[in-house]
Amino acid sequence: MTTTRFAPSPTGYLHVGNLRTALFNYLIARKAGGQFILRLDDTDPERSKPEYANAIQEDLEWLGLTWDRLEKQSARLDRYQAAADRLRGAGRFYECFETPVELDLKRKKQLNMGKPPVYDRSALALSDASRALMRKERAGHWRFLLDQTRIEWVDGILGQISIDAASVSDPVLIRGDGQVLYTLASVVDDIEMGVTHVVRGADHVTNTATQIQIIEALGGKVPAFAHHSLLTGPEGEALSKRLGTLALRDLRAEGIEPMALLSLMARLGSSQPVELRGSLAELIEGFDLADFGAAPTKFDVEDLKPLTARTVAALGVDDMAEDMAKAGVPDDLAADFWQAVRENCVTRADMADWWALCRDGAEPVIAPEDAEFVAEALRLLPKGQLDQNTWATWTNAVKQASGRKGKALFMPLRLALTGRPHGPDMSKLLPLLSKAKNGSR
Ligand code: GLU
């Protein structure tokens, strides 16, 4: 069975970059009728926070990205110890005692000599006696002994990859304080949870190389790997520092619609055009990892607005019922009102602004040169119940009386009635303006 996982660390809020990973893994699992696991990579007890773990789940639920299974690494520490023992038994795990400062010094020396800063494995040369001595001084950390061959895989996005293991440091899997690091935990989980496909950011390519060897050393089956390109800003600038400002919960608070966000992220960076979809089922249908390329993917948060506006415009009066009730739109006006304003809302919240306008009226905007014209026009406005034909009849009468036409005729009237140069079709809005006012009197 196809099994994928999304494995965020609960050390912060999810942002658009994380969403890309989550969505790809979700879509692959759903398209194959497989399983999608949400795994919380919470082995770092200091930085992992329950409130972030909750927020991650809330954000995914908001988007409808449901998971079949929830796992927490903190509950599986014994599994990682067992795997560490097996690596030790197989002679692939060794204890090191360098301090961070010493390691840093080694790296600098290597770089000065024009060599790649790869760990020199000097801990391997320690005798049992000196190891015992070192242990009295400080706790050792544990590295996986890479087999210095080329590590190769066919990446689902990047194509054929070949990495020389000799150019990579033996990864530390357990820290001196006993903390199991992500690489070991992730590999053990991927094996034991039967993960078949791993999609993650291109910043993990080197991790993948080492993980393939660890999986093999543990006798696991290597999943299919794919690495998506990282997001950049609209000008190609690095986004990593700004991702914090692109948290999913902030986008939600700004009124961005889930399907607008998902539709964009499911296509951005692919050879397929971004198309607004009405449901996750449609996204699943149209998704193919093979459409994605290796080039950095430009992301512009502004692109979410027109997509959100189109999503909102397509909502039916029933979809908006709750929002309208909250805004105080009376039931008997809801259908006509939503019909009038749906094309003029970027977010659902804009509906409430239009309702406030209908209910309270606008501060009229009247240019001095239009003052007389507007006064005359208002005198001609029919009394009593206004309907969808009133605007046409009225503006015709005003046209006859004033000789104005086109924009010179319509714009001053719109500005006088709504206080804004743009907005809903006036023939739909005008009856609402009067009904809402009469109703609230
Ligand atoms: N917790 C890791 C991260 O957020 C997971 C990477 C992976 O998918 O293996 O970067």
* Per-residue model confidence as pLDDT tens digits over 217-226: 999 999 999 9
Counts of helices then strands in the chain (DSSP H, E): 18, 12
Which pLDDT score, from 0 to 100, does residue 441 have? 33
pLDDT (0 to 100) of residue 439: 53
Task: Please tell me whether residues 325 and 434 are part of one structural domain.
Answer: yes
433 lies in the same domain as 329: yes
In a domain, 93, yes or no: no
User: 357 is written with which tokens?
Assistant: 């306008």
Question: How close is the Cα of 8 to the center of ligand 1, in Å?
Answer: 6
Read off the pLDDT of each residue in 30-51 and give the average, rounded to a whole number. 97
Residue minimizing CA distance to atom 5 of ligand 1: 7
The domain that contains 264 carries what CATH number? 1.10.1160.10
Comparing C-alpha atoms, which of 331, 327, 303, 304 is closest to residue 317?
A: 331
Last residue of a domain, one of 313, 329, 359: 313
The answer to whether position 16 is within a domain reads: no
Give the span between the Cα atoms of 157 and 209, in whole angstroms.
15
pLDDT category at 241 given cuts 50, 70, 90 is confident
Q: Which residue, 260, 283, 313, sits at the end of a domain?
A: 313
Q: What is the pLDDT of residues 305-314, one digit of tens each?
A: 999 999 999 9
User: What is the domain extent for residue 240?
Assistant: 233-313
Per-residue confidence band for 242, with pLDDT thresholds at 50, 70 and 90: confident
Q: Which atom of ligand 1 is nearest to the CA of 207?
A: 9
Pocket residue to mutate for ligand 1, from 21, 186, 195, most atoms within 8 A of Cβ: 186
- Clarify whether residues 325 and 432 are in a common domain: yes
360 pLDDT tier (thresholds 50, 70, 90):
very high
Domain end (from 284, 313, 342): 313
Of 3, 5, 6, 9, the residue with max ligand 1 atoms within 8 A of its CB, to mutate for a pocket test, comes to 9
Q: For residue 41, which atom of ligand 1 is closest to its CA? A: 1
How far apart, in whole angstroms, are the C-alpha atoms of residue 194 and residue 249?
A: 31
Residue type, 286: G
Same domain assignment for residues 275 and 327: no
Ligand 1 closest atom vs CA 6: 8
Let me know whether 238 and 301 are in one domain: yes
Q: Is 77 exposed, middle or buried (0-12, 13-18, 19+ CB in 10 A)?
A: middle
Residues having CB within 6 Å of any atom of ligand 1: 7-9, 41, 182, 186, 200, 204
- Higher-pLDDT residue of 188 and 441 is 188
How far away, in angstroms, is 203 Cα from ligand 1 center? Answer: 10
Say if residue 412 is in the same domain as residue 336.
Answer: yes
Whether 250 and 327 map to the same domain: the answer is no
Residue 298: inside a domain, yes or no? Answer: yes
Q: Is 309 in the same domain as 341?
A: no
Does residue 258 fall inside a structural domain? yes
Are residues 307 and 336 located together in one domain of the fold? Answer: no
Which contacts (CB < 8 Å, 24+ apart) does range 325-330 have? 326/352, 327/351, 327/352, 327/355, 327/356, 328/355, 328/359, 329/355, 330/439
